[in-house]
Amino acid sequence: MTIYLDGKFVSEDEAKVSVFDHGLLYGDGVFEGIRLYSGKIFRLEQHLNRLFASAKAIMLQIPMTKPALTEACCDTCARNKLSDGYIRLVVTRGVGYLGLNPFKCKNPTVFIIASTIELYPEDVYRKGLNLITAGTIRNSPAAMSPAIKSLNYLNNILAKIEAVNAGTVEALMLNADGYVAECTGDNVFVVRDGKLQTPPISAGSLNGITRGVVMELAAKLGVAVTEPNLTRYDVMTADECFLTGTAAEIVPVATLDGRPIGSGKPGVLTLKLTGEFRKLTRSEGTAIARG
């Protein structure tokens, strides 16, 4: 595997960062997970816009322009001979001293990994995912804005541990007010009376790229989408439920805490949106081939 690291392409064995990098020491940095379909990078511009917005929010100066990052992402995919895959684009604060002061880090680190990914087994997409409700509360938006896609995922990891210990792979996370925020790595949608509902960003959910795509597709299908505060009860009593994320795509949910949601199988609207999503992702994007 070939990795892009600070302007150079290196082998997997050569791709190393310093133990003094603040991304490692303090989780100080931002990232994007991006998908490649049929030789085209899906919604790359949106991902880069979010990356730069996240960096600006934490006063991290990305040492590359958006066109340069676009070229680096395309080149990394091409060098790894990928047609379909997953890109992890990371910008850390860079090497500094022991201590939190970010302004002592002079040169941010940029690296890009392009590989394949399978977040959930294919069986989950056919039968639906079993969720639990995590006891770990989602970080307060007042403490850490969910709009910042940072390297610090410990809050999500604690909830993921609960899910794995409970015999599943994903958990629903509530905020301090008891409203649904998101899952450990994906946004949440429910279907009720033919309409879509998803938690607002203010509840503690990431403004996901795939979340936005699903809302666009729903509008084209004439399906109303609202963003109310949702409770665990609203999820349990929904007609359908599914998760969205760049790596996960659209994942149907079968149960929450052992309770079937709807029929306990992927619902009609979930399957319809999945089909439309797959058509869209195979038809648009930034081509990795260079002329």
Active site residues: 149
d(CA 19, CA 3) in angstroms, rounded, equals: 18
- Phi/psi at 231 (nearest 5 deg)? -105, 170
Q: How many helices (H) and strands (E) does the chain have?
A: 8, 16
The string over 42-81, giving b where at least 16 C-beta atoms fall within 10 Å of a residue's C-beta and e elsewhere, is bbbeebbebbbebbeeeebebebeeeebbebbbbbbbebe
d(CA 171, CA 150) in angstroms, rounded, equals: 20
Q: Are 169 and 134 in contact (CB under 8 A)?
A: no
Distances (CA, A) of 175 to 138, 160, 163, 165, 243: 5, 16, 17, 21, 17
d(CA 181, CA 202) in angstroms, rounded, equals: 9
Q: Which position has the token pair 């990431």? A: 206
Distances (CA, A) of 147 to 43, 182, 208, 242: 17, 13, 9, 21
CA angle 249, 251, 255 (to 5 degrees): 160
Contacts for 177 with CB less than 8 Å, ≥ 6 apart:
229
Specify burial of residue 257 (Cβ count, 10 A radius: 0-12, 13-18, 19+): middle
Residue 52 token pair: 């730069």
Question: Radius of gyration of the chain from Cα atoms?
Answer: 19
